[in-house]
């Protein structure tokens, strides 16, 4: 077994031994990935900006602040454990395949600007 005195947890985390032996990951040895969402100003949506890996939600926040909140404007950050985010499988992408054909569902298909402008003009007239 390779021994290494490195202080780097990436080197020692898995105690990699000979190839035949099963790798056992004990509880707490592997860190979680946390998705990071930042908010540019109060009231705005939190937007996904990337991820950090951390041993706890608290440290994920601490890391995310410097990783994604040290430049430009930021007022708040969310972190969510990636494993806690339910998502569709890649092969389920076909559920969305025909979207492009259904233009009648696009709001852009409705010609309403004329009506809106007419309404606005009417409002101005009343004032």
Residues in touch with another protein (CB under 8 A): 7-10, 28, 52-56, 58-59, 62-63, 65-67, 70
Smallest gap from Cβ 5 to another protein, in A, equals 11
Q: How distant is the alpha carbon of residue 85 from its chain centre? A: 9
Smallest gap from Cβ 42 to another protein, in A, equals 16
Task: Report CA torsion sign: 111, 115, 117, 118.
Answer: positive
Smallest gap from Cβ 24 to another protein, in A, equals 16
Smallest gap from Cβ 47 to another protein, in A, equals 20
Nearer to another protein (CB atom), residue 33 or residue 121: 33
Nearer to another protein (CB atom), residue 49 or residue 62: 62
Nearer to another protein (CB atom), residue 4 or residue 117: 4
**Which residues, 6+ apart, have CB-to-CB distance to 51 below 8 Å?**
33, 34, 35, 36, 82
Nearest to 38 by CA among 21, 17, 63: 63
Nearest to 65 by CA among 77, 55, 56: 77
């Amino acid at each position: 077994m390779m021994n290494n005195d490195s202080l780097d947890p990436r080197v020692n985390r898995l105690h990699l031994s000979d190839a035949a032996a099963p790798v056992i990951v004990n509880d707490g040895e592997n860190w979680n990935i946390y998705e990071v969402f930042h908010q540019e100003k109060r009231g705005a949506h939190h937007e996904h900006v990337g991820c950090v890996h951390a041993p706890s939600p608290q440290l994920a926040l601490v890391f995310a602040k410097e990783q994604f909140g040290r430049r430009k404007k930021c007022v708040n950050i969310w972190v969510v454990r990636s494993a806690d985010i339910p998502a569709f499988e890649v092969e389920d992408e076909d559920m969305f395949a025909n979207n492009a054909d259904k233009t009648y569902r696009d709001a852009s298909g409705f010609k309403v600007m004329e009506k809106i402008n007419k309404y606005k003009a009417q409002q101005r007239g009343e004032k």
